[in-house]
Amino acid sequence: MKKTDSPDELRSLARQCRIDIIEMLSRAGSGHPGGSLSAIDIITTLFFSKMNWDPKNPAWDDRDRFILSKGHGVPALYAVLAEAGAIAKEELNTLRRINSRIQGHPDRAALPVVEASTGSLGQGLSIAQGIALGLKLKKSPARVYCMMGDGEIQEGQVWETIMSGPKFKLGNLVAIVDCNNGQIDGHVTEVMDLAPLADKWRAFRWHVQEVNGHSIEEILIALDKTATPTDQPHAIIARTVKGKGVSFMENNIGWHGMAPNPEETARALEELRQR
């Protein structure tokens, strides 16, 4: 896998991953395009630029970890893993098939390159924090990144973990919230408004940054800032667009958990190829 800090190269990788996400979901006939497309620029930047990991050696002790707490967005992670050579591209054709390693939510028992089995929302930050604490006690240089959805963080367990992260002085922990303002039942601002979200994390004593989650440049700068040695855990509040990259999916809650039909797939792929 070739790592890069070039925003243009990262954009190009993210575009290819968007194509893979649409093709995967279309073939499977089910899945979650909206939250996969909102997360892909961040996940691509992490894996191809900032994370210290080896796609051929997923058990390496000092690897950086990525926990996809919003497990339903896993097509984005599979696309990146395939692009990086951690899984075969052909395996993407098996999404959600019986006995496939790549299910609709990540399954670590079947696919050890994913760090945690998630899907039951609200748990990933607790897992990430436990791993970060273990790494700190072992004096490992590894860092732990955890991506959550904004709808997901309405879960109470998340706030228990936000409360305890600073107590354990986990400067090696980076929480990323994919704020696309969409969840199953509607807009997050209407279902259970989180504002002022950055202030809430700050009040719990996290180091907080707000970024445009589709600006590779802003994501790179924010991730670099989380690498400064500190005892304070980091939160990145990423403003994103649900369905980003496919015009008819953007900001349309209906695309939270629905696969495109063949005609929609063709339109989506044409748009992405022209980007």
Ligand X SMILES: Cc1ncc(C[n+]2csc(CCOP(=O)(O)OP(=O)(O)O)c2C)c(N)n1
Contact residues toward ligand X (CB under 6 A) are 32, 34-35, 38, 70, 72-73, 119-122, 149-152, 178, 180, 182-184, 242, 256
Nearer to ligand X, 183 or 209 (CB): 183
Least distance (Å) between residue 163 CB and ligand X = 19
Q: At CB < 8 A and 24+ separation, what contacts does 160-164 make?
A: 160/126, 161/125, 161/126, 161/129, 162/125, 162/201, 162/204, 162/206, 163/204, 164/129
Nearer to ligand X, 33 or 171 (CB): 33
Nearer to ligand X, 73 or 171 (CB): 73
Least distance (Å) between residue 185 CB and ligand X = 7
Least distance (Å) between residue 274 CB and ligand X = 25
Q: Which residue is nearest to ligand X (CB)?
A: 149
Least distance (Å) between residue 197 CB and ligand X = 12
Q: Specify burial of residue 46 (Cβ count, 10 A radius: 0-12, 13-18, 19+).
A: buried
CA 80 to chain centre: 10
Nearer to ligand X, 75 or 171 (CB): 75
Nearer to ligand X, 9 or 155 (CB): 155
Under a CB-based contact definition with an 8 Å cutoff, are residues 3 and 49 in contact?
yes
Q: Rounded distance, CA 125 to CA 160, Å?
A: 10
Q: Rounded distance, CA 44 to CA 141, Å?
A: 22
Nearer to ligand X, 6 or 120 (CB): 120
Q: Rounded distance, CA 236 to CA 148, Å?
A: 10
Least distance (Å) between residue 24 CB and ligand X = 16
Residue type at position 50: K
Which three-class secondary structure state does DSSP give residue 234? Answer: strand
Least distance (Å) between residue 177 CB and ligand X = 9
